[in-house]
A and B are shown apart, each in its own frame.
Chain A
């Protein structure tokens, strides 16, 4: 398509191709404008005396003069269409949803919205929802609580025991577990990281031996995002190829296998169109490696960046790379796979980074990096916590005895010691006492063996565990209320019922574990009695 138009007074012709606007003057060199690079287009209104179209690119402004209005209108419409097509295909690649479909639709003086001129993967805007950790809000969030209970069966059982069947209120139960609520709230509020798209695209074989792949728009989107090389291949080949044909060839290509991290066998068919990008991929990798030795490909504050300092690079000072990364120890294929996985993971991470970390200026301000931000706080109180450790006055135990008594006792002890020589043959002459002592030792050993062996290996009934958990719950509430000097009466009743429940559990457990259950729950009974004694009500 050609239109007559003059640029800066020089008469020439505008030629439209799929990708560029070429302006050929009647004499002199041509001007080539990349369609995707056009940031805005303006046309003079029909009422204006001159028929002009102004094209704005990233660095220059081109003003084309047309001879007549109809010529301008036709040129404008065609230009708009061409720019839109060019942008659409590049946008499908550059994945900036907010500009899709809005480009170049407004005629006349309305400036067209700028497009992304180049296509580095932009970090997607991470929406940061403020997560409310206020206890009151969390206590009211019944859905969250239900979720937690659903995931944690043990907690669910305790909940049923003490809230549904017992006397605790929902709020009382959750108040003790605020940290669970807060963790769950934080977990739910977190954004999911991106995933490896290629691993989610799985071919399925149909009954007539055809291989099906399902590909959604989002997946293509993510694919372009995560693998710029695929976008490049798509952009360069799709006008000649149909979209379907492109994907079909892509998924059979070596490139796909390589990107997906699978082993490419030597007899896998080579697709000359798609697989040439493998070489580009390799070139890029080498270039990146070279660039990395000069400049880091992403911004790491120099202060933390170990790689920025060649002296600190462990590989150069003798720490060899990991065994798996050494070509002579693992085969080349594997280390290539590992490398490609590493690159992918890195990219996923970078894409997910919040906007603040990439918005920094290009030149790192080394001084400000060195500054420790939290020490800059003017408010000294908050900036540091001063520790004034003081050992409080030594309150030594009161000496119970008087000086005379002390003197007398010491002398008596000394006299007792030295009065007569010790005859070791007389030690342990009272057989009865020795037997009694041995009995105590036997008892202790027996108790110990019960603790060591039986309680660890014997499985008690589920009721016993549940009863234990529920009683502990009441005990926790009781002691909390007690420490806060709140009313403990509501819990006293529950504790008293717990004693009955414990008895019931012991009695109902099978004869083979009855004794063990009793022993296992004995400390619990003791604790309940202790609590009841403190409450002044007695058991």
Chain B
């Protein structure tokens, strides 16, 4: 449109002209929490309904540009797992069309559903998986795509229903910082569970964090917030929770602490005053220095 009148010329002269946003390929990586326990606790809202909304999001993202791409990961007690794309992909012609749906969307939806079902079927470990594991996998995948197709912008959307595993606090923070370095925003769509360091994940990487108050309107959140490309978001006021919980987790007790002690050598965080030496790196502190730890 800018080309019709001389808008683009004016913009160019003012140094404001940017290449059209939609031409740069964008990779949306959706991480889906498949802990059965978390979904069980949600009342009046099911996993299936969530997945339907997620599929609308995926399809919408694909529809925005030919170059766009999506990836879906699921994680639960068995660890993270790539749901889409699959290594061995059935040819497009094998997909039986139902109704009037675009064939590629249909194929993607079916693959995602089938893979999630397989993952659930194979789940035998009654354990919590830390968010750090799927985050790392998603970051690796995004990096790979970004290298294969330079110019690709990646982002991660996390659909979470459980709290994080405090003992994996350090690895989670490390993957958050890695995302920050790689300029990959992490969006968090929190349907349930404890609010832990995911607020920090969104805040540090420039993503949006929303505690979903109305799950039945989930698709609305997806469409009006999480669908927006990061390049466009810079010009908008993002819908993200203003408060960020910056509290860290005690390395020993794995409790979230408000005021703690930090070792001056290894920077480990402790809830209680250490007993003469750092429990992690064993640095001996002089007794005169300890009281000033605040």
| Residues of A bordering B, CB below 8 Å | 385-390, 392, 394-397, 399-401, 403, 406, 409-410, 412-414, 416-419, 421-424, 426-428, 430, 433-438, 440-442, 444-445, 447-449, 451-452, 479-480, 482-484
Chain A neighbourhood of B34, CB < 8 A? 413
Q: Does B128 contact A (CB under 8 A)?
A: yes
Cβ distance B129 to chain A, nearest Cβ, rounded Å: 10
Cβ distance B270 to chain A, nearest Cβ, rounded Å: 11
Within the assembled complex, what's the spacing in Å between the Cα atoms of A6 and B221? 115
What are 21 inter-chain pairs, A to B, with CB distance below 8 A?
A387-B266, A392-B252, A396-B128, A409-B40, A414-B117, A414-B121, A422-B113, A424-B56, A424-B109, A427-B53, A428-B220, A430-B217, A433-B214, A436-B213, A436-B214, A436-B217, A437-B214, A440-B213, A444-B239, A480-B294, A483-B294
Chain B neighbourhood of A479, CB < 8 A? 259, 294
Within B189-244, the residues touching A (CB, 8 Å) are 210, 212-214, 216-221, 224-225, 236-242
Within the assembled complex, what's the spacing in Å between the Cα atoms of A452 and B238? 10
Q: Does B36 contact A (CB under 8 A)?
A: yes
> When A392-B279, A422-B48 are in contact, do A406 and B37 touch as well, CB less than 8 Å?
yes
Extra inter-chain contacts (19) besides given A413-B47, A416-B48, A483-B293, CB under 8 Å: A388-B281, A395-B254, A397-B163, A403-B126, A417-B113, A418-B117, A419-B48, A422-B52, A424-B101, A427-B49, A427-B53, A435-B217, A437-B214, A437-B216, A437-B220, A438-B217, A440-B214, A441-B210, A448-B240
Cβ distance A392 to chain B, nearest Cβ, rounded Å: 6
Chain B neighbourhood of A400, CB < 8 A? 37
Q: Which of A385, A412, A430, A444 contacts B265 (CB 8 A)?
A: A385
Chain A neighbourhood of B56, CB < 8 A? 424, 427-428
Q: Which of B126, B238, B265, B279 contacts A448 (CB 8 A)?
A: B238
Chain B interfacial residues counted at CB < 8 A: 65
Chain B neighbourhood of A430, CB < 8 A? 216-217
Contact across chains for B239 and A448 when beta carbons are under 8 A apart: yes
Q: Does B167 contact A (CB under 8 A)?
A: yes
Cβ distance B160 to chain A, nearest Cβ, rounded Å: 15
Contact across chains for A397 and B219 when beta carbons are under 8 A apart: no
Contact across chains for B166 and A397 when beta carbons are under 8 A apart: yes
Chain A neighbourhood of B213, CB < 8 A? 436-437, 440
Main secondary structure of the interface of A (DSSP, over half): helix
Contact across chains for A392 and B113 when beta carbons are under 8 A apart: no
The 6 A-B residue pairs whose C-beta atoms are closest, nearest first, are: A437-B217, A433-B216, A409-B36, A433-B217, A437-B220, A444-B239
> When A433-B214, A479-B259 are in contact, do A390 and B47 touch as well, CB less than 8 Å?
no
Contact across chains for A416 and B283 when beta carbons are under 8 A apart: no
Cβ distance B276 to chain A, nearest Cβ, rounded Å: 14
Contact across chains for A389 and B120 when beta carbons are under 8 A apart: no
Chain A neighbourhood of B123, CB < 8 A? 410
Within B113-131, the residues touching A (CB, 8 Å) are 113, 116-117, 120-121, 123, 126-128
Within the assembled complex, what's the spacing in Å between the Cα atoms of A428 and B98? 21
Within the assembled complex, what's the spacing in Å between the Cα atoms of A15 and B115? 114
Residue on A nearest B53 in the bound complex, by CB: A427
> When A392-B280, A397-B128 are in contact, do A437 and B218 touch as well, CB less than 8 Å?
yes
Chain B neighbourhood of A440, CB < 8 A? 210, 213-214, 221
Q: Does B262 contact A (CB under 8 A)?
A: no
Contact across chains for A441 and B120 when beta carbons are under 8 A apart: no
Chain B neighbourhood of A418, CB < 8 A? 113, 117
Within the assembled complex, what's the spacing in Å between the Cα atoms of A427 and B46? 12
Within B246-294, the residues touching A (CB, 8 Å) are 251-254, 259, 265-266, 279-283, 291, 293-294
Q: Which of A414, A434, A438 contacts B120 (CB 8 A)?
A: A414
Chain A neighbourhood of B47, CB < 8 A? 413, 416-417
Interface centre among B53, B113, B217, B242 (most CB of A within 10 A): B217
Within the assembled complex, what's the spacing in Å between the Cα atoms of A421 and B52? 10
Q: Does B178 contact A (CB under 8 A)?
A: no
Contact across chains for A385 and B283 when beta carbons are under 8 A apart: yes
Chain A neighbourhood of B220, CB < 8 A? 428, 433-434, 437-438, 441
Within the assembled complex, what's the spacing in Å between the Cα atoms of A476 and B276? 25
Q: Does B59 contact A (CB under 8 A)?
A: yes
Interface centre among B212, B253, B265, B282 (most CB of A within 10 A): B282
Within the assembled complex, what's the spacing in Å between the Cα atoms of A157 and B252? 41
Q: Does B146 contact A (CB under 8 A)?
A: no
Chain A neighbourhood of B240, CB < 8 A? 444, 448
> When A389-B266, A433-B214 are in contact, do A422 and B55 touch as well, CB less than 8 Å?
yes
Within the assembled complex, what's the spacing in Å between the Cα atoms of A471 and B55? 50
Residue on B nearest A449 in the bound complex, by CB: B237
Within the assembled complex, what's the spacing in Å between the Cα atoms of A482 and B121? 51
Q: Which of B53, B101, B165, B259 contacts A428 (CB 8 A)?
A: B53
Contact across chains for B36 and A426 when beta carbons are under 8 A apart: no
Within the assembled complex, what's the spacing in Å between the Cα atoms of A409 and B259? 38
Within the assembled complex, what's the spacing in Å between the Cα atoms of A530 and B241? 20
> When A386-B282, A417-B116, A424-B59 are in contact, do A445 and B239 touch as well, CB less than 8 Å?
yes
Chain A neighbourhood of B120, CB < 8 A? 410, 413-414, 417
Interface centre among A412, A424, A426 (most CB of B within 10 A): A424
Q: Does B177 contact A (CB under 8 A)?
A: no
Within the assembled complex, what's the spacing in Å between the Cα atoms of A436 and B221? 10
Chain A neighbourhood of B36, CB < 8 A? 406, 409-410, 412-413
Cβ distance A246 to chain B, nearest Cβ, rounded Å: 61
Q: Does B141 contact A (CB under 8 A)?
A: no
Cβ distance A146 to chain B, nearest Cβ, rounded Å: 25
Interface centre among B167, B239, B253, B279 (most CB of A within 10 A): B239
Q: Does B51 contact A (CB under 8 A)?
A: yes
Within the assembled complex, what's the spacing in Å between the Cα atoms of A420 and B224? 28
Residue on A nearest B162 in the bound complex, by CB: A397
Cβ distance A482 to chain B, nearest Cβ, rounded Å: 7
Cβ distance A391 to chain B, nearest Cβ, rounded Å: 8
Within the assembled complex, what's the spacing in Å between the Cα atoms of A426 and B220? 13
Chain B neighbourhood of A395, CB < 8 A? 166-167, 253-254
Chain A neighbourhood of B242, CB < 8 A? 444, 447-448, 451
Within the assembled complex, what's the spacing in Å between the Cα atoms of A414 and B118? 9
Cβ distance A479 to chain B, nearest Cβ, rounded Å: 6
Q: Which of B49, B128, B212, B291 contacts A399 (CB 8 A)?
A: B128
Within the assembled complex, what's the spacing in Å between the Cα atoms of A480 and B225? 41
Chain B neighbourhood of A445, CB < 8 A? 236-239
